[in-house]
Amino acid sequence: MKGKILVTGGAGYIGSHTCVELINAGYEPIIIDNFSNSEKFVLDKIKQITGNEITTYNIDCCNLELLINSLLAEKIIGCIHFAAYKAVGESSKLPLKYYHNNIASTVAILSFLEKISCPNFVFSSSCTVYGQPDILPVTEKSPIKLAESPYGRTKQVCEDIIHDTVKANKTLKAFALRYFNPIGAHPSALIGELPLGTPNNLVPYITQTAIGKREQLTVFGNDYDTPDGTCIRDYIHVVDLAKAHVKAMEELLRTKEPIFDCINLGTGKGNSVLEVIETFERVNDIKLNYKIGPRREGDVEKVYADTSYALNKLNWKTELSLEAALQDAWKWESSLN
Ligand code: WQD
């Protein structure tokens, strides 16, 4: 075993897929999760996929004293910090809930790592920090725009906190991974996205409509300045995204010098909402019930990644297609019902 990696939010969507890939790469994930936005059965599914039982602590990442008392003996060599609230719309209604949880947890985790002299930190960030880029594809050097939501703002603030801590700490090494649009599920259909209540995101809303849990999908606007009028995004298979986290951690473990870098994780390709719908229908042989509705407040028109830095820095690029992600998403939804 190559070493223990602390995975906060490890029972969540991207966290659980990353635990699978960490195990596949010879690491031992240690999960922290308070299950406020994840399900305990996911831990059994990770075991079913990998054959490994995962040590899990049901504690709140904001509680530094509890982190120290619970984890001091674990001898972790690195941390991947997923735990955060991430519903963009909800964050505008409950900003203090988001500012407290997302920022205080990052401060507590960084303080804990400093306490145990663990220098390797991977942070779950988001392309939301770019807002609507002026130039596409968007690179890591693209200007950071005023966040469209408190959620996006917490990601920007946390990146600054990490940057300042690396500068002061002299030993901390950190990557902020800026996700584009994670979709899909593990090909085993044993783990996948579990949105609480009505899904905000496109693909879970598509699969829930297809399975009959939702009456009809509404396409939020078709009057944008894009080829078919609907918004364009960079949809990345969650398994590709999980593998990028392992690559990022391994790069930090190799690096001797302090570092803080932000890295875009996307496919480098943009697809419109209607293209996603059409692809879903085609690869799953399903007719989807949808209508065109008004634009959604806060949506950017088009954003997709320049992925050259991820290839250069992590020797990583996506391998799975949009078709595969939409097939895996449908297999997962079907397995839930
Ligand atoms: C994608 C497109 C919608 C639902 C969000 C977060 C971002 C990241 C990914 C965490 C948009 C359209 C959606 C629906 C629709 N999360 N849509 N009908 O908004 O690009 O990004 O999730 O890091 O931070 O902001 O993703 O899936 O909500 O929307 O037409 O029922 O699908 O308008 O154009 P988004 P999304």
Confidence at 298, pLDDT banded by 50, 70, 90: confident
CA of 5 from ligand 1 middle (Å) equals 30
Residue 89 pLDDT more than 90?
A: no
Residue 146 pLDDT more than 90?
A: no
Q: Given 3.30.70.520, 3.30.300.30, 3.90.1170.50, 3.40.50.720, which CATH number is that of 4-183+235-267+304-318?
A: 3.40.50.720
Among 158, 295, 296, residue to substitute to test ligand 1 (most atoms within 8 Å of Cβ): 296
Closest ligand 1 atom to the C-alpha of 200? Answer: 28
Closest ligand 1 atom to the C-alpha of 273? Answer: 32
Cα–Cα distance for residue pair 136/268, rounded to 1 Å = 10
Given the residues 13, 27, 85, 151, select the one marked as catalytic: 151
**Cβ of 8: how many Cβ atoms within 10 Å?**
26
Parse the chain into domains and list their residue ranges.
4-183+235-267+304-318
Residue 128 has a pLDDT of 92
Residue 275 pLDDT more than 90?
A: yes
Active site residue 130: no
Residue 26 has a pLDDT of 98
Would you give the DSSP letter of residue 178? E
pLDDT, tens digit, 9 for 90 and up, residues 55-84: 999 999 999 999 999 999 999 999 999 999
Instruction: Give per-residue burial for 134-169: e unless 16+ CB within 10 Å, then b.
Output: eebbbebebeebebbbbbbbbbbbbbeebeebbeeb
CA of 3 from ligand 1 middle (Å) equals 36
Residue 170 has a pLDDT of 84
Calculate mean pLDDT across residues 202-212: 98
Would you give the DSSP letter of residue 158? H
pLDDT, tens digit, 9 for 90 and up, residues 21-58: 999 999 999 999 999 999 999 999 999 999 999 999 99
